[in-house]
Amino acid sequence: MNERYLIRVSGIVQGVGFRPFVYQLAMRHHLSGWVINSSDGVKIDVQGKADALNLFIRTLKERPPILARVDEVQCLQLNPGISQGFEIHPSQSESDVAVSIAPDQSVCPECLAEMNDERSRYYHYPFINCTHCGPRYSILEQLPYDRVHTTMKVFDLCPSCSQDYHDPMNRRYHAQPTSCRHCGPKIYLRSAGGELMAQDDDALSQVAGVLHNGGIIAVKGLGGFHLVCDASQSQSVRKLRAMKHRNRKPFAVMVDSIETAKRYVFGESVEWQALSSRPAPIVLMHRKLHNGIASEVAFDSPYLGVMFPYTPLHHLLFEQYRYLGCEPILVMTSGNVSGMPLATDSADIVSQFGDMLDGVLDHNRPIANACDDSVVHLAGDSIRVLRLARGYAPLSYKSNYNGTPVLALGAQQKATVAMALPGQLMLSPYIGDLDDLDTQSRYEQMSSLFQNLYRCEPQRWVCDGHPGYFTTQLTEHLPGHVLNVQHHHAHILAVMAEYRLTGPVLGFAFDGTGMGDDGSVWGGEVLLADVQHYQRCGHLKPFRLIGGEQAIREPARILLAMLLECYSLQEICLLKHPAFDAWTEDDFANLYQLWLSGKHSPFCSSAGRLFDAWACLCGLLERPDFDGESGLLIEAAAMRSVPDMDTPLSMNWGTEQIPQLDWVPILKMSIESGVWQHQKDVADACRGLIHSLAHAIYQMANRYSSSPVIVSGGVFQNRLLMNELWQYRRNTTQQFYSGTMIPVNDSGIAIGQLWYGMHQN
């Protein structure tokens, strides 16, 4: 007796080979009917023997294609009809969208094998791909995911590619970027002035030669341009830093294999797995001392960001580089001046760098959506995402939410947007800091993109409470209901969203800056929180930011403000601390008056600013070059401390109504020992600071032992702090949570805001 079902499958089920998988599965089980892509997922009308149908449905749920993610399989039983064979119907568009967007993926082993096979028509073709790999999000213009809705629509398929594309038994069936050397995109090497220098294999050969001779090439990839140079050549790396206006922030490198990587870094098995995974992120791994890499790549950082080639073009470039007998390690950094959005076309990259470039390796497949490289590291026993982008983003989750669309606008720094629709929620790729018009424009484009893709008009908008944020100001002109979420509450909510928690929880939100309810600058907060409310139940002892934002650029001002809580101005001057060497008596007097009056010197309880002051105290930093530099320097110094040292430094919670974490004793102890004068003392003091924060978290967690603990905010990107917390976690039944897929820094704020907005009436 035959049975018949109408099945709807939602999740990441387009652009991942789902329809040919369904077709082949139906043929294997002798079922008839059809399958179709629609805006709300994949629909299947299928009939046959009951046992075969049950096995078919179970396989859909349990063993989908490798890049697919099945969120839901809905089955509606129909009356059997007359049907012969099984067909794949053309896609249809629905008013409701329930399908999730697939992120771009690294090239698969099967495609690499074909690319290296001289007998294959894909031999040395730099855009080879199939349903298991290649671009998705970066070429998508609208849903459903069909070729006519991507930037590949300008390339007509040749007869051979057309045959593959229309054969349900072929790996390239409806792989939308399918093409070959005869019908697809091509690569061109041009000068910065636009002169054609070479194309195809000759272009790659010339690029390898330019890099070997110390040049810098802009290379167009999946979601934007990289700036590339030989990582072994100091002069090239220095030039690249000058071009990007990036003085000290470490560069990432691309290497051709695990064997090469092991010459430069070492790590745990999970780090090597992350490096080799399909998303192919940059993995921050422990550096080895190696003379083959220029010191300017990462200076004294204990870590080196490493990634593997993830496009066919990368693999071909490394092949050419090996022909020259060169060490296969290249700096690959985002194609933009620091602070500007990632360049996605040659005109943009040339406008930013001009004739400082020694060439532009371009291709003619347009990039619809910019997407940077993802960055991860190992901390607290888990691989944790620091920058959510290519390979992981757009990040989507199945959700039980069934309300009206909600769009969360994120923060000012490391901006992202998040959206909730019935059945799912999603987080955009990393966009950047919204401090310039170009990045603000990119942000607005991405916000509009997701509304257009999902054909929704949000009825509820969620933003930060800071009135000066660009994202907050946008809400003044938006229709619908606007909700504000305090910055640090949103940090806690982001982790709650990842683990589907609604509270109550004990949350530690430690970061650089966020506007507090009392008008001061928060950033070392302990909150009892749920999805509706929060209560501040502890915070770092406040100190002043002398001159406001200027203090963030000059950490000596923060150090002075903290010292003024312990000593007189005269005593501070007598310390002769090198951080104050450039200050005159008038400088001291003026800054002291600002501190006394409080004018332009707001109170601050920020753990991030505490790290700035500590780095300054220890002589590690005069002026920060990038966000989080002080934390990285303190972490590096702490790693040089004797691991089993019993640190005398500790911070304790006060007896105030809202307890304050008192940093005064450890500051006075460090000052009185002249900590900045000896490297060993610096290392011990940095380790002591990290231990003190971890111990303070243990203390407060014990007071609320029945509540799950959440740690979030940029300070928790510190590996030593996270490792110590997770060591404690092993010895307690209290649950500890922190972000894994969703970054704990400000790029996770949007999902926290969204989680709040989804739970309001």
Asked if 37 is an active-site residue, the reply is yes
Among the options 19, 171, 536, 719, which is catalytic? 19
Among the options 4, 8, 37, 238, which is catalytic? 37
In angstroms, the CA 222 to CA 367 distance is: 7
Both tokens of residue 646?
Answer: 């019993």
In angstroms, the CA 279 to CA 214 distance is: 30
Neighbouring C-beta atoms of residue 84, cutoff 10 Å: 7
Asked if 364 is an active-site residue, the reply is no
Q: Is 713 left (phi over 0), alpha (psi -120 to 50) or beta?
A: left
Q: What is the CA radius of gyration of the chain?
A: 28
In angstroms, the CA 624 to CA 665 distance is: 26
In angstroms, the CA 15 to CA 37 distance is: 10
Distance linking the first and last C-alpha atoms of the chain: 49
Spell out where 422-578 has E strands: 424-427, 460-464, 481-485, 505-515, 521-529, 534-540, 543-544
In angstroms, the CA 256 to CA 242 distance is: 26
Contacts of 321 (CB under 8 A, 6+ apart): 208, 211, 212, 328, 330
Going 121 to 127 to 132 to 136, the CA torsion angle's sign is negative
Q: What are phi and psi of 267, to 5 degrees?
A: -170, 180
CA distances from 208 to 29, 187, 193, 211, 319 (A): 51, 14, 20, 5, 9
Spell out where 353-504 has E strands: 360-363, 375-379, 382-387, 395-398, 406-408, 418-421, 424-427, 460-464, 481-485
**Are 146 and 91 spatial neighbours (Cβ–Cβ below 8 Å)?**
yes
In angstroms, the CA 416 to CA 143 distance is: 21
In angstroms, the CA 504 to CA 41 distance is: 35
Q: Is 41 left (phi over 0), alpha (psi -120 to 50) or beta?
A: left
Both tokens of residue 221?
Answer: 């990839």
- Catalytic site positions: 19, 37
